[in-house]
Amino acid sequence: MPFRTTVAAPGKVLVVGGYLVLDKKYNGLVIAVNSCVYTSVKTKKLDSLTNSFKVLVNSPQFTNGKWEYSVSLNTENNPPQSNTVLVEQDYTVSKNKNVFIETVLETFFGLLNYRNREEFESLKGTDLELLVVSDNDFYSQRHEFVDTIISSKKLSELPKFNFTKSSIEDVKKTGLGSSAALVTSLSSALMIHFGFASKQSFLKNSGNNDDKYFVHGFSQYCHCLAQGKIGSGFDVSSAIFGSHIYQRFSPSSIEIAMQNKDPKSIMDAIDPKTKRIDSTAKNISIPNGFKLVLADVNAGSNTPSMVSKVLQWRKNNPKDSNELWEEISRNNTKIFSLFDTLVDESSKNQKLYDLAINKCSKTIASEWETTFQTETDCLLIIKLFSQIYETNNKVRKLMKLMGDKAGVEVEPDQQTKLLDQCLSSPGVIMAGVPGAGGYDAIYCMCLSEESAQLLESTVWKVPEFKVTPLLSRQSDSGCFVTEL
C-alpha cells in the first residue's frame, strides 16, 4: 500500500443540454474546468491494535472542516450483520454530518471488507488521514474584498486553497460541482490507495479505461445515494472523464444497489465488465482559440426545485414539451457538429483559421458576416462562427421559453440583459446560463484572451450586474493522480 495517494477531480460547466440531459434520449456538452477538488489519503500506523480504525478528515478551508469516523465490523445479531461495516462519526469533533464523505467511506469500506475480510481487519491499528482542499473558484471569495467590483487579477493574488472564513454549510458556492468533484476525488484516491484501481489508470490524460469506468460507477452511486436522488450524473462523469458530450445512465442501473446498499449489489452495478452503468462520454474538442470564461453573479438559485418544476411541466404537457425539447435538441446537436467542423477546418488550414479568429475576436458577433462579406478566403470559417453564435442564441430563447411554460426562471430577464450585453462585446461567440440556469452564474465563450479581458473590464464591471469573474478555464483532463 502506498504511503499517500492524492487525486484531483475537476469542476464542471454544463454549457449545452441543461434539463434535456436528464432524459437518456438527449445529450449535453459538459466542459471540465482547471479548478479541482483534491483528496489526499495517508495511512498512519499506530502502536496499539484496536477494535476499529479511525478516519480523520480535514478540510482546512472551512471553520468546521473536520470530521472523524471510527470504522468497524457491525456486530448486530438481530439479524446477523457480521458482513457489514459500521462507519460512526465522532460528533465531539464536529456536530455536523458530511453526507458525501460519510457515504463514500461507508460504501468503500463495505466493498473492502467484502473483497477481503483479512485486509479489512488488518486496518485495525492504523488511522487513515484524509486531506480535502479545493481550488478557490469553487467558493465565493467575496469575503476577501471590500469593494463590490472584484477583478480576476485580485482573485489570482489570493493564497491557493484560501480559507473561506465560513463553515462548509454556510459557504457560498459558485456552481462548479463541488460535491461531485469531492466524491470523485475521494473515491478515486481510496480505490487507488487500497488497490481497487491502478495509479497508472489515473495518470493525467491517461484516457478512458476499465479502472476509470469502475471508479466512475462507484462515484455515481455514492453521489446519488448522498444526494438522495438520481440526477443525470453529468457532473460526476466530467469529474472522471473530463470534457465530453454526455448521455446519462439509466437510473435503473443503480436503483437496486441504492435500495439494498449491500456490497454484492453495488459491485454488480459498477462492474466494468457488465457496463450496467450505461452512460456515454463522447470526446469533443473545443475549437482552437475558444476560451471559456465564467462568472459568479451575486444571487442564488435553487436547482432541485427548478428541476422538479420542469419535470412536472414535462409530465403534464407531454406533446408540447416533446416538441420543444426536440427543437432544442436539434439546435444543441447543431452546435456540437459546428464545433467538430471548426476543429476540422483549423486542422486543414491553421493559417486561414487563425486569420478568421483574429478578425472576429475584434468585432461583435452580430456584425461578423456583414463586416467580412468580402473576406472570401476565410469567409467560410467566419460563417461557421456566426452559425454557432446564432444557434446558441436560438437555444437560449427556447430554454427561456421552456422556463416560462414551466414557471421556472431558467434565464431570468436580468440574466438575459447581462448575456445580451456580453454578446455585444467584441469576440464573444456564445453566452448563457450554465446547467439549470437561474440567477447565480453565467458563462461566455470568447475568441481570444484579449476579448475575454475586454469583456471583464467593460460589461462585467457594470455595478448593476453584480458580476464576479472566476479564474477557471476549460481543461482537457478528468481526474488525475497528483501531489499536493
Ligand X SMILES: Nc1ncnc2c1ncn2[C@@H]1O[C@H](COP(=O)(O)OP(=O)(O)OP(=O)(O)O)[C@@H](O)[C@H]1O
Stretch 122-181 residues interacting with ligand PMV (CB under 6 A): 175
Q: Tell me the helix, strand and coil percentages in the chain, rounded to 5.
A: 45, 20, 35
Q: Does 100 bind ligand X (CB under 6 A)?
A: yes
Name which of 423, 409, 421, 426 is nearest 465 in CA terms.
Answer: 421
Q: What residues contact residue 405 under an 8 Å CB cut-off, 6+ apart?
A: 313, 317, 320, 321, 324
98 binds, among ligand X, ligand PMV, none (CB under 5 to 8 A by kind): ligand X
9 binds, among ligand PMV, ligand X, none (CB under 5 to 8 A by kind): none
Q: Does 176 bind ligand X (CB under 6 A)?
A: yes
For 348, the grid coordinates are 486543414
- Given 5, 84, 89, 98, the residue binding ligand X (CB under 6 A): 98
What count of residues does the chain have? Answer: 484
Pairing relation of β-strands 291-297 and 53-58?
Answer: unpaired
CA distance 481 to 194: 14
In terms of C-beta density within 10 A (0-12 exposed, 13-18 middle, 19 or more buried), how is residue 392 classed?
A: buried
Angle at 139 between CA 39 and CA 246, to 5 degrees: 70
**Kind and range of the H or E run holding 181:** helix 178-193
Q: Does 242 bind ligand PMV (CB under 6 A)?
A: no
Q: Does 18 bind ligand PMV (CB under 6 A)?
A: yes
Stretch 292-331 residues interacting with ligand PMV (CB under 6 A): 303, 307
Total binding residues for ligand X by CB under 6 A?
17
Pairing relation of β-strands 480-481 and 4-16?
Answer: antiparallel
Stretch of residues binding ligand PMV (CB under 6 A), selected from 272-280, 286-294, 351-359, 434-442: 434-442
Q: What residues contact residue 367 under an 8 Å CB cut-off, 6+ apart?
A: none
CB nearer ligand X, residue 94 or residue 448 = 94
CB nearer ligand X, residue 41 or residue 429 = 41
CB nearer ligand X, residue 176 or residue 422 = 176
In terms of C-beta density within 10 A (0-12 exposed, 13-18 middle, 19 or more buried), how is residue 79 classed?
A: exposed
Task: State the nearest-atom distance from the C-beta of 98 to ligand X, in Å.
Answer: 5
Site string for ligand PMV, 332-351 (x = CB under 6 A): --------------------
277 binds, among ligand X, ligand PMV, none (CB under 5 to 8 A by kind): none
- Given 5, 6, 27, 59, the residue binding ligand X (CB under 6 A): 59
Pairing relation of β-strands 441-446 and 291-297?
Answer: antiparallel
Stretch of residues binding ligand X (CB under 6 A), selected from 110-118, 175-183, 262-270, 340-348: 175-183
Q: Does 22 bind ligand PMV (CB under 6 A)?
A: yes
Residues that bind ligand X (CB under 6 A): 37, 59, 98, 100, 132, 134, 138, 168, 173-180, 182
Residues that bind ligand PMV (CB under 6 A): 14, 18-19, 21-22, 175, 231-232, 234, 303, 307, 434-436
